[in-house]
């Protein structure tokens, strides 16, 4: 079984400042890692994912994340945030090799609030 | 493409009532799933389907039924609604059953059970 921990439930940040949203996971097997974003009153959409290879993954809207196997982390970063980045961000994992579809295990989410 | 659509957007039920949450996708996706989202708990998988005629249970399946008679539709049935089923429900689909595929989410159904 796997689990995902997002330690920060809320992160306030000023516009144009950098931000890091933290994600740690626990799993007895290797996993695929994802970040999804949920804008107010909408469904989730994929920001980026890590499957294998380079540990630095770039996604949409200027976000990137770094996979650290030794620390079992997959933190999300953006060097300069915009008001439109205000949303809830979910880290998720999926165990590979089951052949049964992408059964995601989500963290509890981090609410990013960008202020002027 | 409309993507993943869900109806209704909002619903209020009384304890013991039954209802069906509708989900449809027009992307010819093989894999579909249902999640519920509760405050402080993220999203949890209820049921999923790897193709027409094939469904299986996720993490929190009790109190819910699903069927997949066509590739496009994946309805979620609440047999006898309980207050604990008050939640926001999301349907999602992905191109294949591969574990690394992006999932596309619908806009959600907000359900309140009184």
Residue A102 has pLDDT above 80, yes or no: no
A–B interface: beta-carbon pairs under 8 A: 79
Rounded CA-CA distance A69/B107 in Å is: 34
Convert the pLDDT of each residue in B8-49 to its tens digit. 999 999 999 999 999 999 999 999 999 999 988 889 999 999
Closest partner residue to B106 (CB to CB) among A43, A51, A94 is: A43
Rounded CA-CA distance A67/A48 in Å is: 12
A36 neighbors A109 (Cβ within 8 angstroms): no
Q: Name A54's Cβ contacts closer than 8 Å, sequence gap at least 6.
A: none
Choice among A51-55, A83-87, B66-70, B88-92 with the minimum mean pLDDT:
A51-55
Mean pLDDT of B38-64: 93
Chain B residue with CA closest to A91: the answer is: B42
Average pLDDT, chain A: 92
The pLDDT value given to residue A98 = 62
Confidence of residue A28 (pLDDT cuts 50, 70, 90): confident
Rounded CA-CA distance B13/A80 in Å is: 44
The pLDDT value given to residue B85 = 97
The pLDDT value given to residue B99 = 74
A94 neighbors A34 (Cβ within 8 angstroms): yes
Inter-chain touch B56–A100, beta carbons under 8 Å: yes
Give the Å distances, CA to CA, from B71 to A115, B30, B68, B88.
Answer: 43, 7, 7, 24
- Locate A47 and state its tokens: 């920001």
Confidence of residue A99 (pLDDT cuts 50, 70, 90): low
Chain B residue with CA closest to A100: the answer is: B97
Task: Report the side by side order of strands in the sheet with B64-66.
Answer: B4-7, B19-25, B76-78, B64-66
A6 neighbors A110 (Cβ within 8 angstroms): yes
Q: Name A53's Cβ contacts closer than 8 Å, sequence gap at least 6.
A: none
């Amino acid at each position: 079984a796997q689990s995902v921990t997002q330690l920060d439930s809320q992160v306030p940040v000023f516009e144009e400042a950098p931000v890091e949203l933290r994600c740690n996971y626990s799993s007895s097997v290797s996993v695929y890692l994802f970040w999804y974003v949920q804008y107010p009153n909408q469904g989730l959409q994929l920001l980026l994912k890590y499957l294998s290879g380079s540990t630095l993954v770039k996604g949409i809207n200027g976000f990137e994340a770094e996979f650290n196997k030794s620390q079992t982390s997959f933190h999300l970063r953006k060097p300069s945030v915009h008001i439109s980045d205000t949303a809830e961000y979910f880290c998720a994992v999926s165990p590979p090799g089951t052949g049964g579809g992408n059964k995601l295990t989500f963290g509890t989410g981090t609410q990013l609030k960008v202020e002027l | 493409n409309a993507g993943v659509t869900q109806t209704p957007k909002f619903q209020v039920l009384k304890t013991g009532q039954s209802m069906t949450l509708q989900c449809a996708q027009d992307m010819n996706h093989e894999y579909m799933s249902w999640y519920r989202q509760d405050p402080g708990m993220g999203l949890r998988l209820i049921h999923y389907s790897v193709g027409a005629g094939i469904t299986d249970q996720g993490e929190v399946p009790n109190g819910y039924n699903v069927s997949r008679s066509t590739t496009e539709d994946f309805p979620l049935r609440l047999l006898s609604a309980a207050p604990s089923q008050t939640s926001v429900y999301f349907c999602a689909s992905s191109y294949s059953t591969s574990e690394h595929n992006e999932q596309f989410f619908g806009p959600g159904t907000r359900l309140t059970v009184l």
